[in-house]
Every structure is written in C-alpha cells, then in structure tokens.
A = this chain, B = another copy of it.
Amino acid sequence: MTDSKMNGAESLVHTLLANGVDVCFTNPGTSEMHFVAALDHIPGMRSILALQEGVATGAADGYFRMAGKPASTLLHLGPGLANGLSNLHNAKKAGSGVVNIIGEHASTHIALDAPLTSDIEGIARPVSHWVHSSKSVATVGEDAARAVQAAMTAPGQIASLILPSDTAWNEGGVPQGAVEMPAPAPFDESALDRAAEALDGSETLLLLGGTALTEANLEVAGRIAAKTGCKLLSEWSNARMERGAGRVFIGRVPYPIDIALKVLEPFKRIVLIGARAPIGFFAYPDKPAILTREGADILTLAAADADLTAALAALSTATGADDTAPAHVVTDALPERPTGRINLDSLAALIARAIPEDGIVVDESVTSGRAFSPATKSARKHTWLNNCGGSIGYGMPAAIGAAVACPDRKVLCLTGDGSAMYTVQSLWTMAREKLDITVLIFANRSYQILRGELTNVGVQNPGPRAIDMLSLDRPALDWVQMSRSMGVSAVSVTDCEDLEAALEEGLTQSGPSLIEIVL
C-alpha cells in the first residue's frame, strides 16, 4: 500500500496498528501535532494523556508486562523524553518492550539551535536498545516497523524512533503491513546435561527470572524441584510473576544483603534460567557484592533473551521430571482477619485477604512491603509486578499500563509515599481513563529505606540534618486531598477494620480509588 497523499505521521500510525501497537501513552507538543491529528481519522489507536512523561513511560512498562506486546509513547523532543527517562530505565531493566516516538524539530531547524533543541539521540541512547532518527518521510513507515521489531526482541527492548517534524508533515508516507517479529534466542543446549546433573538435592538451586515465572513454567520448575530436590528461587525484582492458590510458589532472593548472603550460602550449584547470578543492589563498605557462596558452580542454561519455556521443558525432560507432580503447589489459605491499629504484619494480612481472583498487584512498597511477599503466598491467584530498575516512581504509572492492558482485571497498586510522589500526576490519568486501580499509599512519611542504608554504608548515629533529608513529615502530605484534587476518590485509614472496608469498596467499584495508610 502506498499513498502519496499520506503524510509521514499517518504512515507511522498505520504501521504501528498493523503491527499490533494500538495504545499510545503521551504528552505531545508542537512537533508531535501531526501524529495527534492523525488519531482523528485513523481509528484504532487508544491515546492516553499523561501530565508528565514519567507517567507515560512507566505506563508503557506496565502495559508490556501484562499485554506481552509494546505500547507506543509519544514524547515532545529531548525534554519530553528526558522526563520519561527514569521509567524507561526501569522498563529496560524489566525487559519490557516499548516503542518511543520522539518528535524532533524539522530537519532544517535543528542547526538553528532553538530553545528546545537538544541531542535527542544522546538522551535516548543510555535507556534504549535501539535508536533511530527518520531521514525522510518515505522511510517513516519502514522505521516504525523496525522499531516494533526491536521492541519485540526478547525479552522486550526499548526502541526510540526520532521523528523530525517535516518527516511527519510531508506527504509521501509509505505505511508497512505486519512484519515478522524476532524469535527469542535458543537456550544453551550444550549446557543442558550439565544443568540436569547439577540439580541434585537441597544444596542446589534453580534460579528463575523473566518469562520463566509464568504459571505454566513455574509448574515445570515445580516438577524439577520435586524430582531433583533442588530449591527454587526467583530474582529479587521480577517483571511479572504468577502467584497464589493452585500455583507453584517461588520465593525471591532477599534485598537486605546480610539476609541474601545467608539464604544463598547453602547453594554449591546454581542453574540460571532467565535470571542472573545474584549481586547486591548496592555496594557497601566491607561487604561482598557477589551474593553467592565462594566457589559456587553457576551455570546459565538460558539468558533473559532466550526461549525460557523451551529451556525449562528441556530441563524437565533431562531430569526425568516430566511425570512428577510439582512441588510447592500452594493451597488456598488466607491469613486470619487482623483487627485494631494497622502494623506491617496486619497490613500484609489484609492485602493477602483482599487480593481478588486474577488481580494484578503492582508493588512499589519498598520498606513497608518486606512482609507482603510471604504473607500473600496463599492468596487468590494473582499476578505480581516488581520494580526492576530501582528508580522510584514506577508503581502508579505501571498500574495504569496494567489496567489498560487488562480491562477485565482489578489492579492493586502498593506504593510508599516517597515513591508515589515521584509520579503523582498518575492519579489524574487514572481518573480520566476510569481505570480499575486501587492505590494503597504507605505513609510512613520518610524515605524509610534510607534510614537503614545510612547504617549499611557505615554512617552510625546520623545527626538531625542527615535525618531531615530522609524525612517527609514537615509538612505531612495529605494524600486524601492530593488524590481528590486529581479526581480520584480517597480515604485515610489507621485501623484494620477501616482498611478492610476501603479495600472491599475500592476493589469492587468501577474506576480508581486511593487509600492512605498512616503508619
């Protein structure tokens, strides 16, 4: 199909749609106006406005995790991209595919160094696997198809397509139809026998990540564990993990370094499928950065870009586990109903009780959430998303993306107050799109995790000025007013009974709500 009357922006939208990209998270500007105009006469692209680009890119991350295909973002020049950069960092670390469309000045305008001129490729490169600037209107369609292919490269990649505005407004666009998407890399078959031999008894570990954590793949892992006696763990941060009643449970390598060292100490042999050998989140003076025991034999059967399903199936066969019943299958067992003033344990129990069947939990609970993972082990079956890049402000945007990807499922977003403030504009988009998201704000009124980190890095007895830089209590944020100001209904609770009622209401009503939990 060619159409000499079609402009570049139109060829771009047609090509994205033909390749399954039908959601766009955006905050557009002048240089993106032809893309925006194209939305009116080309049906099929759901365009979702964000009031800051960190919301848009974080939403694209959450969308990919749940939809298994990329959304597009439409960003205004270098600064618009820059605002979305840290959540692209998170998306990159999560292996999420994203197609960024970044408007640029007309090619004749760039040399004039206008106020908004910047080195867009330079800004994009540190967070992108693929960066390309369209050279002419005729290639925009082709460039867009290549961007989707890049984004669909396993496990998922960040593709950044820079679109000079003249390539968008000129006529002569050539849209592309559906192109072939790349297959994942093969796993390392040469390592299969050694991997099968390695897993034998409780001193051996099968460490999983990425799509090894689907319901079906976890079941295979459970068979291998039952057969070989190996332990199962996932990485600390997982882009998406299927959990809950009826599924194979898998723990996570802990975040606190001393506990992680202890958990990993027993393992003399470790097989990796879609995971990397555990290292510390940070370096600390006088503590190791490699968390596995010295001399541990670590074998990568399948890296993150490989076919993890095939790797697990092959390992199951090689260990003779195909007909074994899986270990660690979780039975439905909700924690008892807590009462009284909320503490971290009762909070975890209430969340476990509240997670609805097929719920999606977006977890940016940081310090407040250390107990959530074990407590929710036997909840109704659900999907759990972690922040994989460590840059705070991922939670509410990712919840938006998950809700857009799965309109029939309820989303529970667990976030610390410090994290939530980073992309607080998310609430407005939730209200505008009437997304089924219940946001829980854990208001400990501090960057609590940093209190511990001060000690970890060797600072004993921090003084008032240091503590002041980690405190959010002067003034205290009023999350109820904050949320309502952006159109999301909200309550503040301190007691278990009130939280239970608010969760019940939030998860049954249509549209977003917010619950502030004062800790």
Contact = CB atoms under 8 A, between A and B. Distances in A.
Interface string A9-39: 0000000000000000010111101101101
A458 interface: yes
Given A89-B118, A123-B123, A475 B282 contact: no
Interface string A376-390: 000000000000111
B424 A425 contact: yes
Contact of A481 (B281, B475, B481): B481
Contacts of A432: 474-475
Nearest to A432: B474
Contact of A79 (B37, B390, B475): B390
Interface stretch (A336-344, A345-353, A484-492): A484-492
A37 B462 contact: yes
B93 A453 contact: no
A428 to B, nearest CB: 7
Nearest to A452: B30
Contacts of A47: 465, 468-469
Nearest to A125: B122
Contacts of A259: none
Interface string A265-288: 000000000001001111101000
A390 B115 CA distance: 6
A281 B28 contact: no
A479 B484 CA distance: 10
Tallying the copies of this chain within the complex gives: 2
Contacts of A295: none
Contact of A475 (B80, B428, B480): B428
A155 to B, nearest CB: 15
Contacts of A469: 26, 28, 36, 39, 47, 49
Contact of A34 (B459, B465, B479, B485): B459
Interface stretch (A59-67, A102-110, A200-208, A406-414): A102-110
A93 B115 contact: yes
A283 B106 contact: yes
B116 A389 contact: yes
Contacts of A33: 450, 453-454, 457, 459, 466
A327 to B, nearest CB: 29
A119 interface: yes
A375 B250 CA distance: 67
A276 B112 CA distance: 10
Interface string A81-114: 0110110011001000000000001101100111
A180 interface: no
Contacts of A458: 169
A115 B389 contact: yes
Contacts of A477: 428, 485-486
Nearest to A121: B126
A166 interface: yes
A493 interface: no
Contacts of A79: 85-86, 89-90, 389-391
A482 interface: yes
B165 A475 contact: no
A78 interface: yes
Contact of A40 (B285, B418, B463, B487): B463
Contact of A86 (B36, B83, B89, B425): B83
A272 to B, nearest CB: 14
Interface of A: 26, 28-31, 33-34, 36-37, 39-41, 47, 49, 51-52, 54, 78-80, 82-83, 85-86, 89-90, 93, 105-106, 108-109, 112-116, 118-119, 122-123, 125-127, 165-166, 169, 237, 276, 279-283, 285, 289-290, 388-391, 393, 418, 421-422, 424-425, 428, 431-432, 450, 453-454, 456-459, 462-466, 468-472, 474-482, 484-487
